[in-house]
Structure 1
């Protein structure tokens, strides 16, 4: 006696046992026939009716046929069964994978269940079994085994035969794991249980024949995950890491474990699941619930996915749990929860906000893991890992300040990985010959992967100006640089120097730019955003403020929620319209206006990004906002010296101009802001182009006169005549 060489040899040997059963039953059927009737199966003869009436319930005619024959059949089957079991044990002891045995253990199948699978698969491997089944079922059209035939083949004892009917209930393994499906004879609608027929699932057939390809009906909704990193390599809070290590090293038991991973997309939920499975030496199958909702039969798909996980000995990762939170999805949610509670030994449920009702799993250990946003130190560690192995440009090796990148961009682990990949692609596109990531490539990639949903709520401004373009007194420029330094060194001050533990309020940065229109407030905001490598979003008050009660707060909530992950500078122009003083409550309008201001105070306190408020009327700002400001920068009207520098910088170098233009006279004679001077320079250029001439003093004076008229300023007679002469 020797072991089976492989799983297929074992399967074919087991089907030989089915052959013996079929031969015995065919012999009994033939012995019961008085003569060979060519119309057998098409009608019932008088003799056949008498024989049916004479057979008592529980003692079919084939049981009374030749006791000696029954004894011989039993002895033959027992000998064959003993031989197969011995060879099976030898194979398992030798480490040979027998898929039929693996299926038995994984799905907790009984000997009867395995027999049903063998009877069904025989017809799928050789069509002669279809004809034999038709003969035994007395109908040439019934080529698939029926439940009655299976019971007759596998159970000789009538009591065991009745008990075996329970193996075809919906909760029994055969149907629960979709190993077989039941179907009816079209000519016999609504038959009893024993009148139904069996079909072995195609995925089970392919598995027994050696294939590990997933069921094609659920393959679009699932995938086998790559092995995860070691648990020690995870960048998570120490408490989370300790809990995961405890789960990884916990002794295996029959009690299932469901781990609820709650955190925003890209926060590392999938990585944690893969790492835990690697620690337990268990493969992982990931399921996309959002796509699975489009399946024709949600419950059947869940059962097939559960079967795939059991066949692979894998844990299940259910992604997109939030898609089942709406009330209309509650029936599907209940189906999923039942499946999770009865599924493989280890399961993961990933969601952003939806809670997982622990009451749905009375016999399951439920572990909740909340993934908080990464700290600056954690982001820095992930950036260092992402940079390792990347090719950097020579000028970028020392210039890239990873701590600054980690402080400015509040990225998830996935965003950090994707940003580094994008930076490498940008570098290759910029210079294929010398692929190396530059500082600009990295910042462009980070801005690209910042949350772009904010652009639907605010207007994005691309910074185009720098420090050389703005004219301000030295003290004001120093204040603007201090704002940038506050963001550059926030990780060092808050985390490394310990100030984070001393702060009760938010660690965000809020600055107020106050001054008349045109004095450079928007330009200063652009310069700060450009210096920090962040996008600038200007809040459009028309899309925020609503006459309907409560709508303004909802709009603001959307802006701040998106801004938390947008890694951008928020710029509130005309901020006094939103952050104005609260007034005494005289009517309901005052009350709700004060509620809006109170809500803004709360959100500003919680906001950890950069917010710049600009106003022309500082005195209109509520004092509660002023107390929360880290910086206040006053933009005064420029003096003559500043106006002269503005005139010098406003005309581009490529603009043709008359050398006789007297910029000093323009700065001395006309009291203008930087915005006015810019408008005048552009208007003068158009006047010169229309004259097919270069820009001359006459063009600048004419444009200045138009600007004064637009501003509504009074002009004395001859004032512009004198200036243009």
Structure 2
């Protein structure tokens, strides 16, 4: 490319060739000057030898020596100045300034500092210059402080002034651009070698990897869809030197707003919590700030509340005081103290971002599908990203990971996305509750119609809550969570766990069974801690919580007679509070509804009864387990079994399984003999008497074992 009659550097490579040429000529000039000084000294020595008798000749020789030195030096300086001037003109005419020029402008380097940085970098880019540097007065491995002064300082006064540019507080060293002798605290001794920081050298030649010391502190978030709203306005209207303090419930929701701002696009996102365990957090932060400035990237610090730790206070002070051309964004659960933020360079803007709602998460899914080279249209007519976003409270990172899980498939089904979402969140409940899977559907559940209708209403409630709460605006009227609380009551074995499993399967959610008898602690305060862990994990896992053995905590609240009675009531109240705040489904199962007081029942949205099955229901249950694939003989009388024995569905299941194993052991099909014997064993197991009249004509078939 040409600009007028000037040859413009076409790229960074040509720029560096020109820069190396300028430095080479400067080194050669310095070496020639030293040679000329030597020749001048030799002629002066000849003049001294001429003595008094040859005084006139001596004067002539002395004048000639001085003139020769001046002519050579002037000619060399003129040629060098022309070369340097042409190099700078060609660089200035480039469409985009070279990285070296941008670095010098960003860190406000003085001319001498620019020359020192170029000298140190040239030793790495062009190792063939190292011998020239040595001849010119440098070290045997590269440039030294003394060589820098020899090349770029004219006279003692200028050399003294330039020493300040190499001090520890000066930009070159403060911003970790160069090191002296490998020790950033070393002074400015003339023999000290000058080394450019490896990460800076890499960036200057086009490599964009971060300094290895800080790479592990950064968080990869990928591209986020832009959002609107008050928080976005705070960010978008911020000046480039502002500090933005954002209080958030979900850091990834904040990142979505930040990505909408031109100031923070492609921001360097750092987890401040990781600094707490770093060997040298202040040095790591200096390098992070340097790397961000080199790339023109804003810095976003997640978990910024960690800066309140005493060990990180110097780090925070450095961040606030450091010059910047892009905003510094602090994302935390609370605003830093005003007295601390008062030390910041630039303005201060505050904002709050609520946790990502279903609408935000839907946009995350859309963006993640595009990033995975998929599209919402590829999901077909069954696509319902709204329900997916509503049912799984995933972070942006989890959404991206889930989308990548299904990116290999030729055709993307919505169910595949639901399964990918479940895989992302199921680990959160590990160790706190037991995951429950089900193979059943609503048709397999034998219950009175009223109870089934209530279960279907629960399903509809959760399926449409995004519409009711968000689109219709009811969320603004609902003070607590958007979740659902239910009580399943009835005798053991009547289908409470099965119904909860079916409901969770229909909602495409994981179900976890929590045994409240294991949660309740005799130590004051421990029960609440255990409940906190369960609900926090469930919120992250988007789980259906099924609290079994609820009688352990939801017994009849007693009259307060002592501290233990008072505390037992506090436990109940605390669990009710957490249930109401929970955004998911929380189901309590109890065998004894009468033990629950009215105040508790009023705070439960659904109360579903699981009664003992009637005779007709028991017949359906027997028939359901005695399916066609099970070998049976013609002796089985299902009508008698349903009529004679008042068993729950759980008991009937146990009887059929027991009978099937007995028949298999005998090598026969399942018959009435196997079934009535299994019933007898089930009654005995549950401490119920075996009454011959109940077995009627089949009593003689009962196996005594």
Instruction: With the length of structure 1 as denominator, give the TM-score of the two structures.
Output: 0.80
Name the structure 2 match of 1:264. Answer: 250
**1:144-223 superposed matches below 5 A:** 144-183=142-181, 193-205=189-201, 210-214=205-209, 217-218=212-213, 220-221=215-216
Quote the offset at 1:460 in angstroms.
Answer: 0.6
Name the structure 1 match of 2:574. Answer: 599
Segments of structure 1 that go 5 or more residues without pairing to the other structure are 37-64, 429-434
Equivalent of 1:331 in 293, 311, 316: 311
Q: Are the structure 2 counterparts of residues 115 and 491 from structure 1 closer, same or farther at C-alpha, using a change threshold of 3 Å?
A: closer
Deviations 1:441-500 (A, max 9, x none): 233223222352113211110022212222111122111111111112222333333433
Q: Does 1:10 align with 2:18?
A: yes
Deviations 1:145-164 (A, max 9, x none): 43244334432343332222
| 2:646 aligned counterpart, secondary structure | coil
Contact 2:228/2:257, CA 8 A, preserved across alignment: no
Contact 1:571/1:612, CA 8 A, preserved across alignment: yes
Q: Does 1:108 align with 2:83?
A: no
Name the structure 2 match of 1:246. Answer: 237
Q: Are the structure 2 counterparts of residues 259 and 18 from structure 1 closer, same or farther at C-alpha, using a change threshold of 3 Å?
A: farther
| 2:421 aligned counterpart, secondary structure | helix
**1:673-712 superposed matches below 5 A:** 673-712=648-687
Name the structure 2 match of 1:19. Answer: 28
Q: Does 1:364 align with 2:373?
A: no
Once residues 411 and 396 of structure 2 are traced to their aligned partners in structure 1, the CA distance between those partners, rounded to angstroms, is 22
Q: Are the structure 2 counterparts of residues 475 and 554 from structure 1 closer, same or farther at C-alpha, using a change threshold of 3 Å?
A: same
Contact 1:262/1:269, CA 8 A, preserved across alignment: yes
Contact 1:134/1:142, CA 8 A, preserved across alignment: yes
Once residues 203 and 480 of structure 2 are traced to their aligned partners in structure 1, the CA distance between those partners, rounded to angstroms, is 60
Once residues 494 and 122 of structure 1 are traced to their aligned partners in structure 2, the CA distance between those partners, rounded to angstroms, is 64
Once residues 540 and 436 of structure 2 are traced to their aligned partners in structure 1, the CA distance between those partners, rounded to angstroms, is 18
Name the structure 1 match of 2:53. Answer: none
Deviations 1:223-267 (A, max 9, x none): 8989956xxx52x452123334324xx5x6xx35456574536x3
| 1:364 aligned counterpart, secondary structure | coil
Quote the offset at 1:88 in angstroms.
Answer: 2.0
Equivalent of 2:422 in 436, 447, 453: 447
| 2:356 aligned counterpart, secondary structure | coil
| 1:632 aligned counterpart, secondary structure | strand
Quote the offset at 1:111 in angstroms.
Answer: 1.5
Q: Are the structure 2 counterparts of residues 191 and 456 from structure 1 closer, same or farther at C-alpha, using a change threshold of 3 Å?
A: closer
| 1:513 aligned counterpart, secondary structure | strand
Range with bigger deviation, 27-36 or 531-540: 27-36
Once residues 70 and 650 of structure 1 are traced to their aligned partners in structure 2, the CA distance between those partners, rounded to angstroms, is 111
| 2:430 aligned counterpart, secondary structure | helix
Quote the offset at 1:288 in angstroms.
Answer: 6.2
Deviations 1:27-68 (A, max 9, x none): 4467568999xxxxxxxxxxxxxxxxxxxxxxxxxxxx9699
Contact 2:393/2:540, CA 8 A, preserved across alignment: yes
Equivalent of 2:355 in 373, 389, 397: 373
Q: Does 1:479 align with 2:440?
A: no
Quote the offset at 1:567 in angstroms.
Answer: 1.8
Deviations 1:302-337 (A, max 9, x none): 444433333333333445657x5695xx43563265
Deviations 1:492-527 (A, max 9, x none): 333333433333343321111111112221122122
Once residues 530 and 363 of structure 2 are traced to their aligned partners in structure 1, the CA distance between those partners, rounded to angstroms, is 35
Name the structure 2 match of 1:315. Answer: 298
Contact 1:463/1:527, CA 8 A, preserved across alignment: yes
Name the structure 1 match of 2:402. Answer: 419
| 1:446 aligned counterpart, secondary structure | helix
Once residues 686 and 225 of structure 1 are traced to their aligned partners in structure 2, the CA distance between those partners, rounded to angstroms, is 55
Quote the offset at 1:11 in angstroms.
Answer: 0.6
Quote the offset at 1:172 in angstroms.
Answer: 0.7
Once residues 358 and 221 of structure 2 are traced to their aligned partners in structure 1, the CA distance between those partners, rounded to angstroms, is 28
Quote the offset at 1:548 in angstroms.
Answer: 1.9
Q: Are the structure 2 counterparts of residues 467 and 355 from structure 1 closer, same or farther at C-alpha, using a change threshold of 3 Å?
A: same
Equivalent of 2:485 in 486, 489, 510: 510
Quote the offset at 1:371 in angstroms.
Answer: 3.3
Quote the offset at 1:605 in angstroms.
Answer: 2.2
Contact 2:303/2:333, CA 8 A, preserved across alignment: no
Deviations 1:165-217 (A, max 9, x none): 211111212212333221299xxxx9873453323344555555x43343664
Once residues 144 and 37 of structure 2 are traced to their aligned partners in structure 1, the CA distance between those partners, rounded to angstroms, is 18
Equivalent of 1:632 in 574, 590, 607: 607
Quote the offset at 1:608 in angstroms.
Answer: 1.9
Contact 1:310/1:344, CA 8 A, preserved across alignment: yes
Q: Are the structure 2 counterparts of residues 292 and 221 from structure 1 closer, same or farther at C-alpha, using a change threshold of 3 Å?
A: farther
Deviations 1:543-564 (A, max 9, x none): 4122222111101001111222
Equivalent of 2:639 in 657, 664, 668: 664
Once residues 447 and 194 of structure 2 are traced to their aligned partners in structure 1, the CA distance between those partners, rounded to angstroms, is 86
| 1:457 aligned counterpart, secondary structure | coil
Once residues 709 and 226 of structure 1 are traced to their aligned partners in structure 2, the CA distance between those partners, rounded to angstroms, is 60
Quote the offset at 1:529 in angstroms.
Answer: 1.4
Range with bigger deviation, 684-693 or 350-359: 350-359
Q: Are the structure 2 counterparts of residues 459 and 143 from structure 1 closer, same or farther at C-alpha, using a change threshold of 3 Å?
A: closer
Once residues 566 and 38 of structure 2 are traced to their aligned partners in structure 1, the CA distance between those partners, rounded to angstroms, is 93
Once residues 532 and 125 of structure 1 are traced to their aligned partners in structure 2, the CA distance between those partners, rounded to angstroms, is 61
Name the structure 2 match of 1:88. Answer: 88
Q: Are the structure 2 counterparts of residues 96 and 88 from structure 1 closer, same or farther at C-alpha, using a change threshold of 3 Å?
A: farther
Instruction: With the length of structure 2 as denominator, give the TM-score of the two structures.
Output: 0.82
Once residues 80 and 31 of structure 2 are traced to their aligned partners in structure 1, the CA distance between those partners, rounded to angstroms, is 14
Quote the offset at 1:76 in angstroms.
Answer: 5.9
Q: Are the structure 2 counterparts of residues 622 and 290 from structure 1 closer, same or farther at C-alpha, using a change threshold of 3 Å?
A: same
Equivalent of 1:408 in 386, 391, 401: 391
Once residues 486 and 222 of structure 2 are traced to their aligned partners in structure 1, the CA distance between those partners, rounded to angstroms, is 47
Contact 1:261/1:348, CA 8 A, preserved across alignment: no
Once residues 517 and 537 of structure 2 are traced to their aligned partners in structure 1, the CA distance between those partners, rounded to angstroms, is 18
Contact 1:423/1:441, CA 8 A, preserved across alignment: yes
Quote the offset at 1:589 in angstroms.
Answer: 1.6
Contact 2:178/2:194, CA 8 A, preserved across alignment: yes
Contact 1:316/1:348, CA 8 A, preserved across alignment: yes
Q: Are the structure 2 counterparts of residues 70 and 166 from structure 1 closer, same or farther at C-alpha, using a change threshold of 3 Å?
A: farther
Once residues 263 and 601 of structure 1 are traced to their aligned partners in structure 2, the CA distance between those partners, rounded to angstroms, is 22
Equivalent of 1:559 in 531, 534, 539: 534
| 2:422 aligned counterpart, secondary structure | helix
Q: Does 1:466 align with 2:441?
A: yes
Once residues 131 and 390 of structure 1 are traced to their aligned partners in structure 2, the CA distance between those partners, rounded to angstroms, is 57
